[in-house]
């Protein structure tokens, strides 16, 4: 078959000697199938439905009559898989959404299927919600034609290589999946290394963590005496390592009386450096409180931080609702959010445990409170760096077990305020906390 002289300037690439360029319409006879009622198509082959029925998306099912018999490439011309190519043999039915392609004697049907697929005919479909492929467009597409014997050798070689191609494709899919997951895995690894004392070295010149804890207790006692803070339920927590190497906890009430020590070794989730200490979150923070249910308003003046405002990507008020201005005075000063407040989603399926840090620069309203699905954790920067605390609570040692810490039904899991208060926190010396935060920010910035 000779090339059309008019296509010399259209050919997309060079082909071997003995091959020739031609148009699909000059090589194949193409004809759309016929309409058939959906009620006539069965999902399974039985005595009443014996023949495969091809539509725009491939085999639709089975019918009791056929309109073609032989060996043909079938091109879908409508639907989600518009332009796909299948091979139909024997007796079959083609609907009006499929194009039956008849091959001349000098063309192998198997080769035709390979090359028609390689042409990616879907690119010629109309770009609509329901793509369609006009036969008139297909017929104008150029196709390179090898001699018949070479067509058969090509098919044989492709069949030999296809298992390897499929294996490579699976490996490539796995690699792409790994590439997509790698930043998240690295981030979790960095956060875990950070809160186990493995990301930065310990400095013996740092203020000992015991001195830090005693200062925190003294300042908390003063705040309690000034009625700016309430004494924790059961008294202040003191965790220490006994001579047997195990961790114990005792409680100290307002009069300085100590409770009987209780071993908490089974609560310790991982090892930390000897220069660190474990502490209950409540004992190293100044405020832990669930938000409250607001009365909402269409007046966009006083925003409420809800679960959707707290994303791992950061804090945002883009989807926030607003408090009724007439109820603003009912909120105590402590409930007004401050820079560095940790906002911990404490209810919900799929949102439980997600945390963000409040940033006033992202609040053009200058005022915000949390709703009842968010727990606010407030730290003193000379006690516990909020960024260090965030690294801990955002890391895998907390997030991987957050559902186990919650109570309630499957559809409505809840992280109680008391559970938040009693969370164990690995506490480094204050200077080391700050070094850890700097190093975490440095490393994570390189992963973005």
Q: What is the pLDDT of residues 193-205, one digit of tens each?
A: 999 999 999 999 9
Residue 214 to residue 275: CA distance in whole angstroms: 15
User: Running DSSP on this structure, what letter comes out for residue 275?
Assistant: T
Cβ atoms 355, 343 nearer than 8 A: yes
When pLDDT is cut at 50, 70 and 90, the band that residue 3 belongs to is very low
User: Percent of the chain beyond pLDDT 70?
Assistant: 96
Per-residue model confidence as pLDDT tens digits over 407-419: 876 567 889 999 9
Kindly state the tokens that stand for 279.
Answer: 């502490």
Per-residue pLDDT at 130 exceeds 80: no
Out of 119-128, 178-187, 213-222, the most confident range is: 213-222
SS3 assignment for 47-114:
CCCCEEEEECCEEEEEECCCCEEEEEEEEECECCCCCCEEEEEEEEEECCCEEEEECCCCCCHHHHHH
Per-residue pLDDT at 357 exceeds 90: yes
Kindly state the tokens that stand for 112.
Answer: 């035709």
Q: At what angle do helices 148-195 and 109-118 cross, to 10 degrees?
A: 40
Residue 94 to residue 166: CA distance in whole angstroms: 29
Amino acid 447: pLDDT: 72
Residue 104 to residue 238: CA distance in whole angstroms: 89
Kindly state the tokens that stand for 448.
Answer: 């973005």
Amino acid 410: pLDDT: 58
Pairing of β 51-55 and β 85-94:
parallel
- 3-class DSSP state of 260: coil
Per-residue model confidence as pLDDT tens digits over 232-291: 888 999 999 999 999 999 999 888 899 999 999 999 999 999 999 999 999 999 999 999
Per-residue model confidence as pLDDT tens digits over 134-164: 888 888 889 999 999 999 999 999 888 888 8
Amino acid 448: pLDDT: 58
Phi-psi region of 230 (alpha: psi -120 to 50; beta: other; left: phi over 0): beta
Per-residue pLDDT at 79 exceeds 50: yes
Kindly state the tokens that stand for 178.
Answer: 């790994």
When pLDDT is cut at 50, 70 and 90, the band that residue 179 belongs to is low
Residue 290 to residue 344: CA distance in whole angstroms: 9
- Considering only residues 318 and 58, tell me which one the structure prediction assigns the higher pLDDT: 318
User: Percent of the chain beyond pLDDT 90?
Assistant: 67
In this structure, of 69-73, 178-182, 328-332, 439-443, the range with the lowest mean pLDDT score is: 178-182
């Amino acid at each position: 078959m000779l090339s059309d002289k008019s296509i010399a300037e259209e050919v997309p690439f060079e082909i071997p000697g003995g091959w020739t360029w031609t148009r699909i319409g000059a090589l194949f006879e193409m004809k759309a199938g016929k309409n058939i009622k959906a009620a006539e198509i069965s999902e399974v082959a039985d005595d009443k439905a014996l023949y495969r029925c091809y539509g725009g998306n491939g085999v639709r099912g089975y019918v009791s009559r056929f309109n073609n018999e032989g060996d043909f490439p079938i091109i879908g011309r409508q639907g989600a898989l518009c332009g796909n190519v299948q091979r139909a043999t024997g007796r079959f039915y083609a609907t009006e959404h499929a194009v039956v392609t008849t091959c001349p004697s000098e063309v192998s049907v198997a080769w035709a299927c390979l090359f028609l697929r390689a042409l990616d005919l879907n690119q010629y479909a109309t770009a609509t919600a329901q793509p369609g492929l006009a036969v008139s467009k297909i017929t104008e597409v150029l196709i390179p034609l090898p001699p018949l014997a070479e067509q058969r050798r090509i098919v044989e070689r492709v069949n030999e290589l296809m298992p390897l191609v499929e294996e490579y494709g699976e490996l490539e899919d796995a690699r792409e999946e790994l590439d997509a997951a790698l930043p998240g895995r690295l981030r979790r690894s960095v956060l875990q290394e950070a809160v186990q004392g493995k990301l930065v070295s310990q400095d013996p010149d740092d203020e000992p963590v015991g001195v830090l804890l005693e200062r925190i207790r003294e300042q908390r006692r003063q705040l309690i005496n000034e009625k700016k803070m309430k004494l924790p339920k059961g008294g202040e927590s003191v965790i220490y390592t006994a001579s047997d190497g195990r961790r114990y906890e005792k409680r100290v009430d307002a009069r300085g009386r100590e409770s009987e020590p209780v071993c908490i070794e089974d609560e310790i989730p991982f090892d930390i450096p000897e220069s660190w200490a474990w502490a209950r979150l409540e004992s190293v923070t100044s405020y832990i409180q669930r938000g409250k249910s607001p009365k909402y308003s269409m007046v966009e003046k006083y925003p409420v931080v809800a679960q959707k405002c707290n994303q791992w990507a950061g804090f945002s008020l883009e989807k926030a609702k607003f408090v009724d201005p007439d109820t603003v005075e009912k909120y105590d000063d402590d409930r007004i959010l401050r820079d560095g407040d940790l906002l911990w989603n404490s209810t919900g399926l799929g949102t439980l445990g997600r945390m963000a840090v409040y940033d006033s620069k992202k609040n053009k309203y200058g005022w915000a409170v949390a709703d009842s699905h968010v727990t606010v954790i407030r730290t003193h920067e000379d006690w516990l760096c909020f960024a260090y605390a965030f690294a801990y609570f955002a890391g895998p040692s907390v997030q991987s077990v957050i559902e186990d810490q919650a109570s309630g039904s499957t559809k409505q899991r809840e992280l109680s305020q008391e559970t938040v208060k009693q969370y164990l926190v690995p506490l480094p010396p204050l200077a080391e906390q700050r070094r850890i935060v700097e190093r975490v920010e440095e490393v994570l910035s390189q992963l973005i």
